Amino acid sequence: MSIQKKEDHIQICLDPASQIGSAGWERYRFVHQAMPDVSFAEIDTSCEFLGKPCSIPLMISGMTGGSETAAMINQHIALACETARIPFGVGSMRIALEHPETASSFQVRPYAPNVPILANLGLVQLNYGFGLDECKRAVELLEADALMFHLNPILEAISQDGNTDFTGLMPKLEKIIRHLGVPVLVKEVGFGISAKVAQELRDVGVRTIDVAGWGGTNWAFVEGRRTGNSLGSVFSSWGIPTSDAVRDCSKISGLSVIAGGGMRTGVDMAKAMALGASLSSIAQPALAAALQSPEAVLAVIDRYLGELKTTMFAVGAGTLKALQAASIEVRE
């Protein structure tokens, strides 16, 4: 994986054309409470993630790393997450393990000493020479609270140098879960996780997934544009909308679901929680801000917080637990 590839991804993701489709939140509507019986000033959005207190059920998810631009992005996001008290997951760390000179672009713990930090590797790399030692190195490099494996078969198929052997990964994942020493989470990258796959992940010991569904940054489009591969446009409409993935995967006992993919507003976050999610994740909505400053990223986080609190007020939910029990209707 090259530094130029990382830089290309950043630039393409900044293009509004990379945002394709709908996560499906417009199909759901809360029942408005004209008499909410809560005080807006007392609404509590606090939660816990990976054993640490957070101010809002929002995570800024893995985007990048490996270049000077990526280092700045990660630093700005980490500083903002520390101030806001929310989790941060870095982008794929494969480049840091293969090219140690890039490792510093991922090392955000000094900027975010008190919030959950997640390391990130592609699960398919377990079929290409990576094992427990590499996973431990990624966690140690970041002083991470957990390791997030990402699933990206469509992206790998479109990439010119893609790793497309996804056979036999579940037993290898189970071994990592048993021996790594920190929690192991699994996410998609924008095409969604079905209930069937979520159950299989749960069966080998995964306790938290980010469904990262269709309706946000479209990595078929991104990689297709980068490589000139027409598969990118053909598969830009492929995937499970985030709202459907959240609804279906949240029914699995013992599995915590993060709603990622096309989470554009705090209203989307609230709807995800009402459908069973425990947390939401965003990436591209914070990217342009992260190129500017930590304060710009904080402004994005504050917008989501304000929208979430207003939604909670309008449905009469003073806590996240009450929000999860709020009445929500499907609009066909």
Q: Which positions make up the binding site for FMN? A: 61-64, 92, 120, 187, 217, 262-264, 283-284
User: Residues marked as binding?
Assistant: 5-6, 61-64, 92-94, 120, 156, 187, 217, 262-264, 283-284
Classify residue 181 by burial, with Cβ atoms within 10 Å: 0-12, 13-18, 19+: exposed
Residues with Cβ within 8 Å of residue 23, at least 6 apart in sequence: 213, 214, 215, 216, 241, 242, 243, 261, 262, 263, 264, 268
User: Could you give phi then psi for residue 275, rounded to 5 degrees?
Assistant: -90, 0
Q: Angle between the 242-249 and 266-274 helix axes, to the nearest 10 degrees?
A: 30
User: Residues marked as binding for substrate?
Assistant: 5-6, 92-94
Looking at the chain, how many residues does it have?
332
In the three-class reduction of DSSP (H, G, I as helix; E, B as strand; rest coil), residue 314 is classed as helix
Instruction: Give the tokens for residue 37.
Output: 């019986």
Residues with Cβ within 8 Å of residue 147, at least 6 apart in sequence: 118, 119, 120, 121, 135, 138, 139, 176, 180, 182, 183, 184, 185
Name the β-bridge partners of 58: 280
Q: E strands within the chain?
A: 28-30, 47-49, 52-54, 58-60, 88-89, 117-122, 146-151, 184-188, 208-210, 256-260, 279-282, 328-330
d(CA 296, CA 146): 27
User: Residues marked as binding for Mg(2+)?
Assistant: 156
In this structure, how many other beta carbons lie within 10 angstroms of the beta carbon of residue 259? 33
Contact 18, 10 (CB under 8 A): no
